[in-house]
Amino acid sequence: MNQSIVVITGASSGIGHSCAEVFAETGAQLVLWARRGDKLQHIATQLQEQYAVAVLCQTVDVRDSAAVRQAVADLPESHRSPDILINNAGLSRGLNTLQDGVEQDWEEMIDTNVKGLLYVTRSFLPGMIQKGSGLVVNISSIAARQAYRGGNVYSATKAATKMISDSLQIDLNGTGVRVCNIDPGLVETEFSEVRFRGDAVRAANVYKGYQPLTGRDVAECALFAATRPPHVSIQDILITPMAQATATIVQKDV
């Protein structure tokens, strides 16, 4: 991956941060996106010092299509057609049943997880297709495969992500650009704190009594897909903690 250009959305924490680390270790040049520019800058400085890699940070809200287009336009020409695009930015809000759902939460999830992913992908793909190579990694979820109580709209956004990945397999066939959809199970990140709006105790409970995945476990899947020979396409990955059998069945000690 030495000198490859890797764009990662949602790189300010969790899986995206781990992707930045894992690809920096290989000598890749990074473009990191998120809304919290201070966090991105901190991560960039650390990676530059540790791995001597080039890192560009852009403060972007992927829900804002004009901002996404502008951010791509602001990149040096070489970076507008990256070798790897990791569509990772995403979130869940609440665990309400649909009948008790909050419209604002639905809109935030749909706008970020579905429309944001589309805006970003649409902005980078023409350059990647022109180059005739590259990889798009979409971070979906086990929630795309199995519904669970209160998961409704979040699951729907992740099922949409998976269907966008499947559609891209077809639309990009013959272009040289690969697509890898990754469905992680439970990963200990800021995800649950965001879902429960800062309720740290409720968030911590999600990961108690078993060993959850780390962001790195997922990032290494992306790296595996990115390092296959050009004739190999890793289309779909489901990764869970050993303790997790399905979206809802988790062997917990407590």
What residue ranges bind ligand NDP (CB under 6 A)?
9-16, 34-36, 39, 60-63, 88-91, 112, 116, 139, 141, 184, 186-187, 189-191, 194, 215
**Binds 247: which of ligand 8X3, ligand NDP, none (CB < 5-8 Å by kind):** ligand 8X3
Q: How far is the CB of 226 from ligand NDP (least distance, A)?
A: 17
Q: How far apart are CA 144 and CA 154, in angstroms?
A: 8
Which C-beta is closer to ligand 8X3: that of 71 or that of 247? 247
CB atoms within 10 A of CB 209: 12
Which C-beta is closer to ligand NDP: that of 74 or that of 132? 74
Which residues contribute to the site for ligand 8X3 (CB under 6 A)? 141-143, 151, 186, 191, 247
Cα dist from 205 to 93, 121, 199, 201, whole Å: 17, 34, 10, 6
Q: How far is the CB of 192 from ligand NDP (least distance, A)?
A: 7
Q: How far is the CB of 95 from ligand 8X3 (least distance, A)?
A: 9
Residue nearest to ligand 8X3 according to CB distances in the complex: 141
Which C-beta is closer to ligand NDP: that of 101 or that of 131? 101
Which C-beta is closer to ligand NDP: that of 14 or that of 82? 14
Which C-beta is closer to ligand NDP: that of 119 or that of 128? 119
Q: How far is the CB of 15 from ligand 8X3 (least distance, A)?
A: 10
The CA dihedral of 20, 24, 29, 33, to the nearest 10 degrees, is: 10
Handedness of CA 124, 50, 46, 217 (dihedral sign): positive
Answer yes or no: 154 catalytic. Answer: yes
Q: How far apart are CA 177 and CA 164, in angstroms?
A: 15
Q: How far is the CB of 181 from ligand NDP (least distance, A)?
A: 11
Given 119, 154, 207, 210, the catalytic residue: 154
Nearest one of 110, 231, 213 to 164, comparing CA atoms: 110
Q: How far apart are CA 86 and CA 254, in angstroms?
A: 35
| Residue 118 near residue 138, CB atoms below 8 Å | no
Tokens 């023409």 locate to 126
Please identify every residue annotated as catalytic. Answer: 154
